[in-house]
Chain A
């Protein structure tokens, strides 16, 4: 499937996954890949920090739009922009939008805001989703990529409108909840992409999360990204000792041992991952996109391009029904 069509299938892409699987990195890579397909993209993050600024070699995200990667030029790339939407900011914005700016300070200073958010749990999550919905409605970009809270939280995050809808009765919050529910239920407006590693616990969790999202929220699921797959270079499975015996190069005994051990470790690692990839495809009827393990502790723009390059052929290989 052509990446431009893949990314045009819905206007909001919610990227979710357990902590440590590379969810934010994948959000960045998806945004970059969409921009390379010519779609202007806005990356939305909910908490400060994370790898996004390093990946784009850009300043930290703030509550204001900033360009993370400028498009244009002969490649036909579009812009990637980014911004931070914190729950507190979403709440303040909501109060201002409803003529309540006046009482915001009093709500905050008396601590009444804690009473409000406890009385209506999920209100912050709902208001964040409301902001995303507003970005979507105003067509601020062709695609909005939301770096969602870590899985587990992802389900409760997306459940917030349903929960609040029954708790608050009629009123502006209920209207907001209805609007967000409408967006979540419409596969042409919104899809969730889950990210996992090819390891036992993350695979179990991604399966549970996928079923919970589908059954409890009814949101459309895109392909699952399996991140951190370690490559097996061609020829690594050949018999090492035979190759060494045939080689004219002078290699010390210590080096021979190191080379042999490193190769054995890599093959074992890849085999373990492959078992999990197979298990995932048997347990979860979603197509998969695979991204490679990055051999660096400080991923930057070069690694972002590597990951984006890895996503493109996977997307090309998807069939129409997979998107």
Chain B
């Protein structure tokens, strides 16, 4: 039994990490499907799935707009649910949870500075993916949550994003700028005023006003946000949370993956399994040089190229596979999987858990 199979049967959270363009979203969906086949009630959080994948899962984009899980029509012992992450809506819901009144929540949600944070601040995607994960983990409908993470070159982003954004929301600059007591923001500190005017010269006064108003309205909510960020972090480092690294056997991608593993290890998180997509076949290589220039020459060239790729990718992958226990690496062959529908996803799942049916 591969360790990936064990993870699918025993963990309560699986986080798929990796660079962009390595097939992470599809891999997360296939893992979720396989766990459902094995009898678990699974929810997969996808991030910007390619249209083909959402079609394959029978995902209705109109119904997904509510940011709520929808059940996928799929004959399994367990259940398969999916939700498409909507960063903005998730952030709004979090504000509603921690605002002391609906009025205060409305003020924050309508603030332009807050909209910038929720829509485009760097790390907001990662933060909300982890937030959604936490929410679904505590949802009694599910035994397992599989989460796809936003493509990032830095593994630590989604670990640090909740804390980083929470610190930003509780900004000490704001405390320098406004009175601690006055209801709406009043700039009192004269030295700060000069500074603020300079900032306003760069980005215009109305933008600065929006920012100050936001911090004033948010004041008092930071404790709730901090508590939540700690809870999310605890969930990520919990024993029944597994990390699956998805990669392709390319030099630069594997370098990134090795850095991922190291960064996660520094945060006391072990990568439990590695999925290598797009692995080229090895056809074996004998001494064929003697065959020369005849009509077989193009065939020899092609076999030679294939071996160059196969040997090269093994060398590249060796740096990764040494980092995890034997059996924790699953290789998915290039060209043999084509996910057009649920059946395609199911056949990909069989590559992930090659010992076959449960």
Contacts and interface: CB of A to CB of B under 8 A. Distances in A.
Q: Do A and B bind each other?
A: yes
Interface string A244-266: 10110101101100111111011
B207 A120 contact: yes
Contacts of B202: 95, 98, 100, 116, 120, 171-173
Interface in A195-239: 200-202, 204-205, 233-236, 238
Interface stretch (B27-35, B221-229, B245-253): B245-253
A204 B251 CA distance: 25
B211 A236 contact: no
Contacts of B173: 110-112, 115
Contacts of A266: 302, 305-306
A116 B283 contact: no
Contact of B21 (A19, A168, A249): A19
Nearest to B115: A121
Residue from the set A118, A122, A252 with the largest chain B CB neighbour count within 10 Å: A118
Interface residues of A, number: 69
Contact of A296 (B50, B113, B199, B312): B312
Contacts of A169: 204, 206
Contacts of B20: 18-20, 150
Identify the 3 closest CB pairs spanning chains A and B, nearest first. Answer: A20-B21, A233-B298, A19-B20
A167 interface: yes
A289 to B, nearest CB: 21
24 contacts: A18-B20, A19-B20, A20-B20, A20-B21, A20-B248, A98-B202, A112-B173, A115-B171, A116-B203, A118-B117, A119-B207, A120-B202, A120-B203, A171-B202, A204-B52, A234-B298, A236-B299, A244-B296, A247-B294, A251-B288, A258-B286, A265-B281, A266-B302, A297-B316
Interface residues of B, number: 65
- The dominant DSSP class at the B interface is helix
B44 interface: no
A138 B305 CA distance: 46
Contacts of B286: 252, 254-255, 258
A255 to B, nearest CB: 5
A84 interface: no
Contacts of B253: 20
A268 interface: yes
B106 interface: no
A119 B203 contact: yes
Interface in B28-52: 50-52
Interface in B277-294: 281, 283-286, 288, 290-292, 294
Nearest to A259: B299
Interface in A283-310: 295-298
